[in-house]
Amino acid sequence: MAGTVVVDTLQADSTSTLVLKNGVANTPPTVQDSAGTQIGTFCRAWVNFNGTGVVAIRAAFNVSSITDNGTGDYTVNFTTAMPDANYAVALTASAGNNNSSLVCTVKSATQYGAPSNQTTTACQIVLVNYVNSLIDSGAVYVSIFR
């Protein structure tokens, strides 16, 4: 049933979690201003994991697994696929306590090329230190927006 409900606050009772449920499959609700212009969207997937030792996932949403491909090289696999591969990846990681530089990128098949290792089902990322060597990080954070 289509329609508009005008309220100031949406609040679940003390025993429930508030749920926003869209009527279209694999499409999250959007945030609009008073003019009906879309001004925001929700995070499609995120993960916080330890990339050292035996890789360990601390917390995640819509991530089925992390593939440890090698030193500083990981793939984030999605539980529910993205609608296309044109999503944005917000990516960072801890560089430790010695102010070392750390570059976090989506892995590409060609230098400075389009992020070709970004598909609807997974996104491969690499961490590189100041001498251009792959390096592990104890705290890797990845967020996906579309």
Partner 1 sequence: MDKLIIYPNDNGGVAILVPTESLELAMKDIPSGKPYLIVDAADIPTDRTFRNAWTADFTDAEVKA
The residues binding partner 1 (CB under 8 A) are 47, 49, 52-57, 60, 63-71, 77, 79, 121-122, 136
Long-range Cβ contacts of 78-81 (<8 Å, 24+ apart): 78/45, 78/120, 78/121, 78/122, 78/123, 78/144, 79/45, 80/26, 81/26, 81/120, 81/121
Q: Report, in Å, the least distance between residue 72 CB and partner 1.
A: 9
State the nearest-atom distance from the C-beta of 137 to partner 1, in Å: 12
The single-letter DSSP state of residue 69 is E
Nearer to partner 1, 14 or 137 (CB): 137
CA angle 27, 33, 36 (to 5 degrees): 70
Residue 143 CB, shortest distance to partner 1, in Å, is 15
- Count of positions (residues) in the chain: 146
Give me the least distance between CB of 65 and partner 1, in Å please.
4
Cα gap 64→121, rounded to integer Å: 10
Identity of the residue, 29 or 96, whose beta carbon is nearer to partner 1 in the bound complex: 96
User: Which C-beta is closer to partner 1: that of 1 or that of 109?
Assistant: 109
Give whichever of 92 and 117 is closer to partner 1, judged by the CB atom: 117
